Structure 1
Amino acid sequence: MLPSLAAGFLACAGLIVAIGAQNAFVLRQGLRREHVLVVVVLCTGGDLVLTAAGIAGLGPLVAAHPVALDVTRWVGAAFLLVLAAAALRRARRPAALEPSTAPASRRGVVVTCLALTFLNPHVYLDTVVLLGSMAHQQPAAWAFGAGVVLASAAWFGTLGFGATRLRPLFARPRAWQVLDLVVAAVMAGLAVTLVVT
């Protein structure tokens, strides 16, 4: 059981650390100290639900219905482009760069977080199909799943709550501007990747 747990932890850690829209969002919320616990719980909970679905056998069903993935891909790409445009707008308006200005509503943060989690077709391929398949290659599939969720909680918790250590750097509006430009580039790049692949 312990080897399966460790295998799940390492598999998830390898997939989750790549910079993506969800990670950029968690980092930004952590820097702003806005609804960080909610974001961490939602991201980890999303991985829990998707991993459990994969282990329970949803992987083959997802793989067998490419039309559903195509719809998710286009909706996800459009959503990412909207987020990229918003980040560009923030970067162009110096008054909006301070973390203390215009706090985000909890509802808006929840909707954005859920959209970033569930409108990304790669999350279904990575978490439901890939990790679900890998779980069934282990002696204890659910222990593998527990390892995945532990890695997810550790990563999102570290990213969200650890971002406060970067706050001195982000005391300058220029740093927020650079972050928003990077976020815009990541979101736009992912949107293009979703459409062309």
Structure 2
Amino acid sequence: MLLAGFGLGLSLIVAIGAQNAFVLRQGLRGEHVLAVVLVCALSDALLITAGVAGVGALLQQVPWLLVVVRVGGAAFLLAYAALAARRALRPSGDALDADAPVRRSTPGAVVLTALALTWLNPHVYLDTVVLLGSVAATQGDARAWFGVGAVLASVVWFTGLGFGARLLRPVFARPGAWRVLDAGIAVVMVAIALSLLAGLA
């Protein structure tokens, strides 16, 4: 059950999304990486635990709550997409050269952004609380181990993504690479925001 939870958890977390894009960018910049990894991994652990405990069934009984989260999440993602698009179109030079001094964000701002990208994203609730919770409910007495496996998958993924991103720094020593990354982040954010709003129809 541990491996089953690890496998399903990893398959859901690895998908490209707003959270992963942010962790990757922070890892490339070498900026407050540990804080970002801890926020994402601990948040996932809380959500997975809630799902395994059966909170997903309660969420399905309160549909208006997911509507509120969808709208708020879409608004935040569109705003973040606009910032990423601005960086792509008008780079400020603060992070284009991996070896040059960069204009660093404050730890508080980085942590708040990581929290927002995690907790304002309805897909996180659907994947961890509802989907993982539903599968865990079929595991009987072994569902706790299933949940532990899913939590471990989250920790391994975010740690690898955040701290492993440094291996790509030679690629991002070229200014154009950062512009492509920011453009890609903007596109991903807009696509996720639109999918959230489309789900309201």
C-alpha separation in 2, matches of 1:44 and 1:94 = 30
Unaligned stretches of 5+ in structure 2?
Answer: none
Match of 1:105 in 2: 106
Match of 2:42 in 1: 45
Contact conserved, 1:90 with 1:180, CA < 8 A, in 2?
yes
- Calculate percent identity across the aligned residue pairs: 57
C-alpha separation in 2, matches of 1:173 and 1:104 = 19
Match of 1:134, as an amino acid? V
Match of 1:26 in 2: 23
Alignment RMSD: 1.0
C-alpha separation in 2, matches of 1:146 and 1:27 = 24
Match of 1:135 in 2: 136
C-alpha separation in 2, matches of 1:171 and 1:27 = 15
Post-superposition offset of 1:12? 0.6
C-alpha separation in 1, matches of 2:54 and 2:135 = 12
Q: Does 1:59 align with 2:56?
A: yes
Specify which structure has the higher proportion of helix. 1
Match of 1:115 in 2: 116
2:159 pairs with one of 157, 160, 179: 157
Match of 2:186 in 1: 184
C-alpha separation in 2, matches of 1:181 and 1:148 = 31
Q: Does 1:146 align with 2:136?
A: no
What secondary structure, in the 3-state scheme, does the structure 1 residue paired with 2:44 have? Answer: helix
49-58 or 75-84, larger mean C-alpha shift: 49-58
Contact conserved, 1:62 with 1:124, CA < 8 A, in 2?
no
Contact conserved, 1:20 with 1:186, CA < 8 A, in 2?
yes
Q: What is the TM-score with the length of structure 2 in the denominator?
A: 0.93
2:79 pairs with one of 70, 78, 82: 82
Q: What is the TM-score with the length of structure 1 in the denominator?
A: 0.95
C-alpha separation in 1, matches of 2:51 and 2:11 = 18
Match of 2:196, as an amino acid? L
Post-superposition offset of 1:176? 0.3
